[in-house]
Amino acid sequence: MPRTLVTGGAGFLGSHLCEYLLRKDHEVVCMDNLITGSKDNIADIKSDKFQFVEHNVSEFINVKGALDYVLHFASPASPMDYLDFPIQTLKVGALGTHNALGLAKTKGAVFFLASSAEVYGDPLIHPQPEKYWGNVNPIGPRGVYDEAKRFAEAITMAYHRTHRLDTKISRIFNTYGPRMRINDGRAIPNFLRQALTGKDVTIYGEGSQTRSFCYISDLIEGIYRLLVSDQNAPVNLGSPDEMTVKEMADKILQATNSASRIAHTAAVEDDPKIRQPDITRAKKYLNWEPVVGLDKGLRATLKYFKEQLRT
Ligand code: UDP
pLDDT digits (tens, 9 = 90+) for 271-280: 999 999 999 9
| Residue of 13, 75, 174, 245 to mutate, ligand 1, most atoms within 8 A of C-beta | 245
Cα 165 to ligand 1 centroid, rounded to whole Å: 35
Give the pLDDT of residue 311. 79
Ligand 1 atom nearest to 77, measured from its CA? 25
Give the pLDDT of residue 253. 98
Q: Is 203 near ligand 1, meaning CB less than 6 Å away?
A: yes
Cα 271 to ligand 1 centroid, rounded to whole Å: 8
Whole-structure pTM value: 0.98
256 close to 195: Cβ distance less than 8 angstroms:
yes
252 close to 215: Cβ distance less than 8 angstroms:
no
pLDDT digits (tens, 9 = 90+) for 243-301: 999 999 999 999 999 999 999 999 999 999 999 999 999 999 999 999 999 999 999 99
Residues 14 and 160 occupy one common structural domain: yes
Cα 220 to ligand 1 centroid, rounded to whole Å: 22
Residues 150 and 226 occupy one common structural domain: yes
Residues 99 and 147 occupy one common structural domain: yes
To the nearest whole number, what is the mean pLDDT of the chain?
Answer: 98
Q: State the catalytic residue, choosing from 145, 159, 176, 224.
A: 145
Quote the longest CA-to-CA distance of the chain. 58
Q: Is 243 near ligand 1, meaning CB less than 6 Å away?
A: no
Ligand 1 atom nearest to 207, measured from its CA? 7
Q: Is 90 near ligand 1, meaning CB less than 6 Å away?
A: no
Is 285 in the active site?
no
Can you tell me the mean pLDDT for 125-137?
Answer: 98
Residues 228 and 263 occupy one common structural domain: no
* Domain CATH code at residue 248: 3.90.25.10
Residues 26 and 158 occupy one common structural domain: yes
From CA 110, how far away is CA 124, in angstroms rounded? 33
C-alpha distance from residue 150 to each of 1, 25, 73, 189, 286 (Å): 33, 32, 14, 26, 23
From CA 277, how far away is CA 116, in angstroms rounded? 11
* Domain CATH code at residue 132: 3.40.50.720
Q: Is 174 near ligand 1, meaning CB less than 6 Å away?
A: yes
The contacts of residue 177 (CB under 8 Å, 6+ apart) are 12, 16, 215, 216, 217, 297, 300, 301, 304
What is the domain extent for residue 16? Answer: 3-176+214-240+280-286
Ligand 1 atom nearest to 78, measured from its CA? 19
